[in-house]
C-alpha cells in the first residue's frame, strides 16, 4: 500500500509539472490558431515522442523528457536567410508565422506567459477565497548563533531582538507578513540592512527594536546562503511520526493533540506541546486526540520523547555534567563547568535529555528548581531559576553526558530503575574508554585505573574541542585532524582510550602501541603536538573535560581489567513528533484576496528578477549563495511531491501557481531560445525593418542553448546533491 501511495504522489507531481508546461504551450497554441497560423505539433516535453494523436492538421504529442514543451508552427523552419537573399524574394505561405504582422507575432510569443499569468492568478484567487494554505509566521524556536560568511559564529538578530517561542510576526520593515515565506523572501532581500519587526506576544503588539534602541541588522547565514533572522517556524499540533512502543488505540499520524494530562493545548505550537509532554518522559500520560472532523478521544501512552532514542542515555545511566554556564543565565556564579547534576527537585536523573525534561515543568511555571550537585568530592544543593535566553525559558546551561572518561558515580536509570551501565558491570570509579551507539544499545569499553587531570590553556582547549570529537585520538584510530590515516591493518587495533603513549613525539609523529604491544605511529597536527609533552609514557587520554578554571585533559594510568560489552537499552515508550504545517489564511475582506495575488506575482516575477544580481555579490553586500537557494526541475518535482504527500492538495496547487508565475519570468528573460529572446529578435526586426541575419540569429540561438543547458545541468546537479544529502 505504501509503495502504491509513493507512486501516486510521484505521478501527481509529474502531472502537475506537466500541467504548468501544457498551460504555457496552450497559450502559444490558442493565439496562433486565433491568428490563423498553421500548427504542425503541440508537444509536452522534449525528445522522443511517447504518445501522439492527430486531430485536424495538428499532432498532439507527449515526449520523454518532461522539462518543457513546444508548439511547432509553419514558418519556424522556413524562414528567410537574411544574409543570402532578401525576404521579399522568398514566397511565404499566408498561414506561416512569418507572414503575420509584428503585432500578431508578438502576441503569439506572449501567449505562453499570459496563459501562465492568468491561470496562476485565477488559481491563487480561488485558493485565497477557499483559504490560502500558509505556514503561519509564528516562531517555533530562536537560533542563538548562526554561521556567518567567514565561518565564525554570529549572534542571530532574533536573539538580539529578544524574540521568543510563540511570537507572531505581523510586519517586517513596514511590509505586512502573512506567512513564513514572506519572512524568508524579506530576509534574503534585506541582508545586512537594519530590521524592524512588529510582533504579537500574548495578545500585545510590540515593535522591536523599541524606539530609541540600537538598530539590529540582518546577518548572512552561510548554511542558508542569504540573510536570516535566526528563527525556526512553529510546528503544528498534528502528529507527524509515532515510534517506539505502539499501543493499541494510541495516537496516529494526522491526529491533533487537544490536551495533555487533562490540560488543553489547543492553539499551542508543536514545540510547546512537546514541552508539555517532556515532564512525562518514561511515565504514563493521557492524551486527548482527534482527527479533523472526528470526535475527540482519550488514549494513554508512556512518553519516550520526540524521537524513540531520546531517552536511551537515561536508560543507560550516563551521568550529566555542566560544560558551560551562559553569561545571561541566573545560574552564573552558582553552578560552574564540571559540576555533576545528580538530581532535580529530589528525583535522581541521568542523561541530558531526561534532565532537560525534568526541568521543563518548573521552568514553564517559573518555579524555583532544587539541584543536587557533585563538585569534586563535595555534594551540594543549589536553588536556581530559569531565564529568557534565546527565545525560551531555560536555565542557560550547556550540558554533556559522560560517555568517555572517569565515572565518579552511577545514577539511577530512567524511572528509578537500575541503569544499563550498572547491569553491564560498570562501577563507580571505573573509566569509560569508548562508547558507540548501536542498534539496541551502546557498545562500551571500560576498565580501572588512576585518573589524573592535566590543565590546559583556553587556546589549546578550543583547538582540541573544534575537532570532530574533543579527544586526541578519534574512534577510527587516527590523529584528531587525521593528516595521515593509519594503515588499514592498524584500524582494528586502535580505539579511543586503548592506545598508549610510548615516548615523546619526534618530528610530529606520535609513537604508540596497541594492547598487543605492536607499534603504531600517528602523524600529529600542531594542536595535538602541544599536548604530548604534558603526558607520560603509558598515559591514555580519555576525555577533554570542563573545570571551574577552564579545561583539562583526563588521563588514565595503570589501566587494568579492560572489558567491552553492549549496554542494552529497551524502548522507553512511545515517541511523538510534529512538523511544520499549513493553515488556511483568513481574509480580512474580499479585496485582500486580490492583494495576495498581486503580492505573489510581485515576489515570483519582480523580486525574483531583482534577486539575480545578488547571486554575484559578496555576502557582506547582501549577496545570495546560488548553491543554497536555486532549484531546478528535479527540485521542483520533489517539492510538488512533498507538498502533495504531507501538506495537502491546497498546498500542492499553490506551488503549481507559483511555478506558473516563475515561468512567466523565465520565459521573458532575453535569452535567444526563450520567448523573451524571440521577442528581442522581433523588436530588432521592427526597429530595423528587416530580420536579424541568419548567421547572427543561429549564433545567438546556440549561445542561448549552451547557457540554458549549462544552467539546467547546474540546478539539476544541485537538486540531486540535496536529494542525496551530499549538499
Q: What is the three-state SS of 360-407?
A: HHHHHCCCCEEEEEEECCEEEEEEECCEEECCEEECCEEEEECCCEEC
Residue at grid coordinates 550516563: 318
Terminal CA-to-CA distance of the chain, rounded, Å?
31
Catalytic residue among 25, 401, 554, 650: 25
User: Is 340:357 a contact under the CB 8 Å cutoff?
Assistant: no
Quickly tell me which residue has 499549513 as its cell: 582
Q: How many residues are recorded in the chain?
A: 727
Question: 41 has which bridge partners?
Answer: 59, 72
436 is catalytic: no
What are φ and ψ of residue 568, in 5° steps? Answer: -70, 145
CA distance 425 to 563: 10
Cα–Cα distance for residue pair 435/445, rounded to 1 Å: 7
All residues at 6 or more sequence positions from 248 whose CB lies less than 8 Å from its CB, including other chains: none
Backbone conformation region of residue 697, classed left if phi is above 0, alpha if psi is from -120 to 50, else beta? alpha
Nearest to 388, CA basis, from 578, 144, 147: 144
Q: Residue 644: exposed, middle, or buried by beta-carbon count in 10 A (0-12, 13-18, 19+)?
A: buried
| Burial category of 29 from C-beta neighbours within 10 Å (exposed 0-12, middle 13-18, buried 19 and up) | buried
**Rounded CA separation 563/95 (Å):** 88
Q: Which of 99, 84, 86, 81 is nearest to 38 (CA)?
A: 99
Distance CA 150, CA 127 (A): 42
Give the DSSP per-residue string, 241-264.
EEEES--TT---TTPEEEEETTEE
The single-letter DSSP state of residue 643 is I
Give bridge partners of residue 554 from the DSSP assignment. 453, 543
Based on the number of CB atoms within 10 Å of its own CB, is 713 exposed (0-12), middle (13-18) or buried (19 or more)?
A: exposed
- The grid coordinates of residue 68 equal 518543457
Which one-letter DSSP state was computed for residue 284? E
Q: Report the greatest alpha carbon distance in the chain.
A: 104
Say whether 191 sits in a helix, a strand or coil.
Answer: coil
Distance CA 653, CA 348 (A): 52
Report the C-alpha gap between 723 and 639 in whole angstroms: 11
649-668 vs 633-642: helix crossing angle, rounded to 10? 160
The Cα angle at residue 227 between residues 719 and 217, in degrees rounded to 5? 175
The answer to whether the CB of 172 falls within 8 A of the CB of 179 is no
Those residues with Cβ within 8 angstroms of residue 88's Cβ, 6 or more apart along the chain or in another chain: none
| Nearest one of 242, 383, 231, 411 to 313, comparing CA atoms | 411
Residues 712/671, Cβ–Cβ less than 8 Å: no
* Grid cell locating 640: 510538488
Which of the residues are catalytic? Answer: 25
Amino acid at each position: 500500500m505504501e509503495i502504491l501511495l509513493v507512486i501516486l504522489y510521484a505521478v501527481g507531481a509529474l502531472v502537475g509539472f506537466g500541467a504548468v508546461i501544457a498551460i504555457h504551450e496552450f497559450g502559444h497554441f490558442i493565439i496562433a490558431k486565433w491568428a490563423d497560423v498553421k500548427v504542425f505539433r503541440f508537444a509536452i516535453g522534449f525528445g522522443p515522442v511517447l504518445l501522439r494523436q492527430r486531430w485536424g492538421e495538428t499532432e498532439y504529442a507527449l515526449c520523454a523528457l518532461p522539462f518543457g514543451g513546444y508548439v511547432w508552427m509553419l514558418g519556424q523552419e522556413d524562414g528567410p536567410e537574411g544574409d543570402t537573399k532578401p525576404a521579399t524574394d522568398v514566397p511565404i505561405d499566408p498561414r506561416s508565422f512569418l507572414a503575420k504582422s509584428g503585432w500578431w507575432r508578438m502576441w503569439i510569443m506572449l501567449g505562453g506567459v499570459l496563459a501562465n499569468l492568468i491561470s496562476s492568478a485565477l488559481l491563487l484567487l480561488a485558493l485565497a477565497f477557499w483559504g490560502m494554505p500558509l505556514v503561519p509566521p509564528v516562531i517555533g524556536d530562536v537560533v542563538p548563533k548562526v554561521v556567518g560568511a567567514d565561518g565564525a559564529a554570529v549572534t542571530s538578530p532574533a536573539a538580539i531582538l529578544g524574540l521568543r517561542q510563540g511570537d507572531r510576526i505581523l510586519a517586517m520593515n513596514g511590509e505586512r507578513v502573512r506567512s513564513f515565506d514572506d519572512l524568508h523572501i524579506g530576509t534574503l532581500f534585506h541582508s545586512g540592512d537594519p530590521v524592524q519587526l512588529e510582533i504579537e506576544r500574548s495578545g500585545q503588539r510590540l515593535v522591536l527594536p523599541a524606539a530609541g534602541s540600537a538598530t539590529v541588522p540582518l546577518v548572512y547565514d552561510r548554511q542558508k546562503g542569504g540573510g536570516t533572522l535566526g528563527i525556526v517556524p512553529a510546528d503544528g499540533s498534528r502528529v507527524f511520526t509515532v515510534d517506539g512502543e505502539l499501543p493499541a488505540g494510541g495516537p496516529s499520524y494526522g491526529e491533533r493533540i487537544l490536551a495533555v494530562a487533562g490540560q488543553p493545548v489547543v492553539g499551542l505550537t508543536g514545540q510547546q506541546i512537546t514541552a508539555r509532554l517532556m515532564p512525562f518522559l518514561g511515565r504514563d500520560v493521557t492524551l486527548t486526540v482527534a482527527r479533523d472532523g472526528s470526535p475527540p478521544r482519550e488514549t494513554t501512552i508512556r512518553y519516550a520523547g520526540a524521537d524513540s532514542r531520546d531517552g536511551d542515555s537515561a536508560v543507560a545511566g550516563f551521568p550529566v555534567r555542566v560544560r558551560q554556564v551562559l553569561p545571561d543565565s541566573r545560574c552564573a556564579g552558582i553552578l560552574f563547568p564540571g559540576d555533576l547534576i545528580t538530581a532535580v527537585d529530589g528525583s535522581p536523573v541521568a542523561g541530558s535529555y531526561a534532565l532537560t525534561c525534568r526541568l521543563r515543568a518548573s521552568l514553564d511555571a517559573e518555579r524555583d528548581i532544587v539541584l543536587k550537585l557533585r563538585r569534586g568530592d563535595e555534594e551540594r544543593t543549589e536553588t536556581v531559576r530559569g531565564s529568557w535566553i534565546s527565545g525560551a525559558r531555560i536555565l542557560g546551561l550547556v550540558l554533556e553526558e559522560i560517555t568517555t572518561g572517569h565515572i565518579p558515580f552511577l545514577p539511577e536509570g530512567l524511572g528509578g530503575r537500575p541503569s544499563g551501565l550498572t547491569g553491564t558491570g560498570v562501577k563507580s570509579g571505573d573509566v569509560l574508554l569508548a562508547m558507540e551507539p548501536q542498534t539496541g544499545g551502546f557498545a562500551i569499553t571500560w576498565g580501572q585505573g588512576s585518573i589524573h587531570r592535566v590543565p590546559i590553556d583556553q587556546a589549546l582547549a578550543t583547538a582540541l574541542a573544534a575537532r570532530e570529537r574533543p579527544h586526541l585520538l578519534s574512534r577510527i584510530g587516527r590523529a584528531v585532524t587525521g593528516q595521515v590515516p593509519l594503515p588499514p591493518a592498524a584500524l582494528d587495533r586502535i580505539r579511543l582510550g586503548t592506545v598508549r603513549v610510548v615516548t615523546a613525539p619526534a618530528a610530529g609523529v606520535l609513537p604508540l602501541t596497541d594492547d598487543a604491544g605492536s607499534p603504531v605511529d600517528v602523524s600529529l597536527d600542531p594542536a595535538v603536538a602541544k599536548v604530548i609533552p604534558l603526558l607520560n609514557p603509558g598515559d591514555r587520554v580519555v576525555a577533554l573535560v570542563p573545570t571551574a578554571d577552564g579545561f583539562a585533559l583526563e588521563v588514565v594510568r595503570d589501566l587494568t581489567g579492560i572489558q567491552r560489552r553492549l549496554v542494552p537499552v529497551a524502548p522507553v515508550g512511545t515517541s511523538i513528533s510534529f512538523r511544520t504545517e499549513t493553515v488556511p489564511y483568513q481574509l480580512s475582506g474580499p479585496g485582500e484576496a486580490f492583494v495576495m495575488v498581486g503580492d505573489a506575482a510581485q515576489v515570483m516575477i519582480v523580486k525574483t528578477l531583482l534577486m539575480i544580481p545578488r547571486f554575484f555579490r559578496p555576502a557582506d553586500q547582501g549577496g545570495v549563495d546560488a548553491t543554497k537557494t536555486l532549484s531546478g526541475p528535479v527540485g521542483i518535482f520533489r517539492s510538488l511531491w512533498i507538498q502533495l504527500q504531507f501538506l495537502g492538495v491546497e498546498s500542492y496547487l499553490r506551488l503549481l501557481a507559483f511555478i506558473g508565475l516563475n515561468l512567466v519570468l523565465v520565459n521573458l528573460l532575453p535569452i535567444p531560445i526563450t520567448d523573451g529572446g524571440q521577442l528581442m529578435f522581433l523588436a530588432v526586426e521592427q526597429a530595423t525593418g528587416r530580420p536579424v541575419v541568419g548567421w547572427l540569429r543561429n549564433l545567438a540561438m546556440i549561445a542561448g542553448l549552451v547557457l540554458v543547458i549549462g544552467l539546467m545541468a547546474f540546478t539539476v546537479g544541485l537538486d540531486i546533491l540535496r536529494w542525496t544529502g551530499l549538499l
